[in-house]
Amino acid sequence: MVYYYRVLTIAASLILTFVATSLFFDFVASDDLDALDLFRVGLLAITSFGISLGATLAFTGLFVPDRKRPPSAEPASSRRTAILVPIYNEDPVATFSRVSAMHQSLEATGAAQNFHFVILSDTRDETIAEDEERWFLRMVEESGQDGRMFYRRRSVNHGRKAGNVADFVRRSGGHYDFLLILDADSLMDGETIVEMARRMEADPKLGLLQTLPKVINAKSWFGRSMQFASWFFAPSFARGLAAVQGSYGTFWGHNAMLRTEAFAACCGLPKLSGKPPFGGDILSHDYVEAALLARGGWRLRLDTDLEGSFEEAPDDLMAYAKRDRRWCQGNLQHTRLLFSPGFSPWARFSLVQGIMAYLASPLWLAFLVTSLMAPIFATDPVYFPEPGMLFPRFPHVDTTKALILLATVAALLVLPRLLILARVSGKASDRGFSSAAAVAGSTIVEVLWSSVMAPIMLLFQSRAVFQIVTGADGGWPVSNRDEGVSATEAWAGSWWMSVVGILALGVTVAFSPDLLPWLLPVGVPMMLAPIVIYLSSTPASGRAGRRLGLFVTPVERRAPSVVRQFRGVLGRWRGEPVLPDALDETAGPVRAEADVVG
Amino acid sequence: MRHDVSNPDALETIDAHSSGAASIEAFAPPRAPMAMPVQVLEVSWSERLGLASLFAPLAARR
């Protein structure tokens, strides 16, 4: 069945790519074909394959049956699981509030005795490290569980996060059957954790079980749009991905359970020869670890039916771009590993997909630039190509084909979302959304908002690729989700986009005014990037969206207990009142206070 | 105490159950070493094509 899905998905993607490319070929060939045109055709072929693949995965996800396994009646696993929380200069209060909430949630299952929390600190900032120790001790004291909570800090950060986890496995792995790997901002429900261990125990060849984490606690317009996408669209995309991947599932580096024996045997990562950005520590280690587990004969599974898996995400475009820069470097580094021995063809294809996710941006940019250049370098039309012709032959530009091409590309981007809306809107209330109308409105606004963000991300990613291929190492930046962005920071980080946008529109007006309507949707968001970035990052923008009923997710309407517990602990530890979500029908200061530890 | 990663034996084995002390050192994870061999990801093309073994006798003769 997996091969059927794979062949279908890739064949459909290739057909769509062929259609888009041949439409464009006909369009550019209609008024003489030159080398630049052929280059543009090549660029479009590569980039449209990426879009087609994304669209077909979503289609597959829509048609794959949504198999929800009932909660298992089996007793909880008797195996021991280490819940690993690697941290690196993050806010300890927020991190340990999450751990505390997960601990409470596990306690409520009655199966907590086999689950140990292990904080693996790689923090370099001594002040933060002192805070980590203080808050860890407080957490242990309040929970009364000093036998199931551990903390250690490395003096040397060999191998970054992957090295941090490997260090734990080498020292303590023998004590645990399974490892639940989290990020500092991960939050998982106790029942989900127990169920994961149960599924790992039930399938002895299962090396990795990945959940689909959904975004929570977004505050800004930008963050809430991402949060909505993760709740509404991502499950369909993930179901498609899971169907196509089969037992070669994916690993996203967190909110996933690993079999310790498999991980230890297969996932000791070497340093790559040479210097960063392409040498040194492997940054996007999760993809490589997935390929290594598969090479070792272990199964990997993405179980999209597992609820109760959450994460936080950057709340503004600047922070998002910063994280993306790190992922970009990691994925481009995979060019070194495409021919690693023993990797399955699908593993290599997955690595290529990850690389193309970032190379697509500079390729689209090159396509735009060459499309602007094409009229400048076009040869003068020959009105009398044959001697003795009485009437001139005027060049014919096939605008209809250009419009069909535009409609095809737009459909590939938008149609999956609209189909998800069509399928899910009828069950919107059952799934925790407010109404079909609300999700329809949110989907339309999300599509429009994505088209505003796309040119900005195109420039961020193109710059990142350029920096990396020219040898700039992005280092190991701290992921701080709480900061937000000021107008000055937005301007400092994106003024150059305004320059690019103004230049692009100026050149178009001067040399190819006919192209202006086509370029406006790209050029205007670039020109306004600092304003877009700033306004979409403010909490006020998020509140405005909520007042309009936009991007409202189930977690905002009725937060799961583990999320409420987290908010309760965090509010109490910070000495702040725990404000309920405006739309949350259950949360409130009293309830949150009642949910605190201890 | 900070754990010296270059020397795994430097890690103290502490039974967190019996520590009783509110000190961070008491909360080191339990010691149970597990081998985690470093994987081979990069193989030179000469090795892939068998050229390395072709020249091995020459190298050995030297």
- Which chain A residue is nearest to residue B15, measuring alpha carbons? A147
| Position A405 confidence tier, pLDDT thresholds 50, 70, 90 | confident
Residue A154 at interface with chain B, using a CB cutoff of 8 Å = yes
| Position B60 confidence tier, pLDDT thresholds 50, 70, 90 | low
Does ipTM exceed 0.85?
no
* Residue A552: both structure tokens together: 């409202």
Report how far residue A154's alpha carbon sits from residue A117's, in angstroms, rounded to the nearest whole number: 17
pLDDT above 70 for A390: no
Cβ–Cβ of A146/B16 closer than 8 Å?
Answer: yes
Cβ–Cβ of B40/A270 closer than 8 Å?
Answer: yes
CB atoms within 10 A of CB A112: 20
Query: Which region, left, alpha or beta, applies to residue A10 given φ > 0 means left and ψ of -120 to 50 means alpha?
Result: alpha
List pLDDT tens digits, range A21-78. Answer: 998 898 888 777 888 889 999 999 999 999 999 899 988 888 887 666 666 666 667 7
pLDDT above 70 for A597: no
Chain A residues inside the 8 Å CB shell of B26: 146
Determine which of B7, B42, B43 to mutate to test the interface with A (most A C-beta atoms within 10 Å): B42
State the pLDDT at residue A515.
83
3 state DSSP class of A112: helix
Cα dihedral sign, A40-A43-A45-A50:
negative
Report how far residue A45's alpha carbon sits from residue A17's, in angstroms, rounded to the nearest whole number: 6
Residue ranges of chain B whose CB lies within 8 Å of a chain A CB: 2-6, 8, 11, 16-17, 19, 22, 24, 26-43, 48
Residue A141 at interface with chain B, using a CB cutoff of 8 Å = yes
Q: At what angle do helices A539-547 and A529-537 cross, to 10 degrees?
A: 70
List pLDDT tens digits, range A365-389. Answer: 999 888 888 777 666 666 666 777 7
CB atoms within 10 A of CB A60: 22
Report how far residue A251's alpha carbon sits from residue A259's, in angstroms, rounded to the nearest whole number: 13
Residue found under tokens 């999700």: A439
Report how far residue A330's alpha carbon sits from residue A322's, in angstroms, rounded to the nearest whole number: 13
Chain B residues inside the 8 Å CB shell of A292: 39
Across the range A265-278, mean pLDDT stands at 95
* Residue A583: both structure tokens together: 């739309």
Determine which of A99, A171, A288, A333 to mutate to test the interface with B (most B C-beta atoms within 10 Å): A171
Q: Is the separation of the CB atoms in A270 and A213 below 8 Å?
A: no
Cβ–Cβ of A175/B32 closer than 8 Å?
Answer: yes
| Position B24 confidence tier, pLDDT thresholds 50, 70, 90 | confident
CB nearest to A151's CB, from B5, B19, B27: B27
Cβ–Cβ of B42/A154 closer than 8 Å?
Answer: no
3 state DSSP class of A451: helix
Cβ–Cβ of B34/A156 closer than 8 Å?
Answer: no
List pLDDT tens digits, range A427-452. Answer: 888 888 989 999 999 999 999 999 99
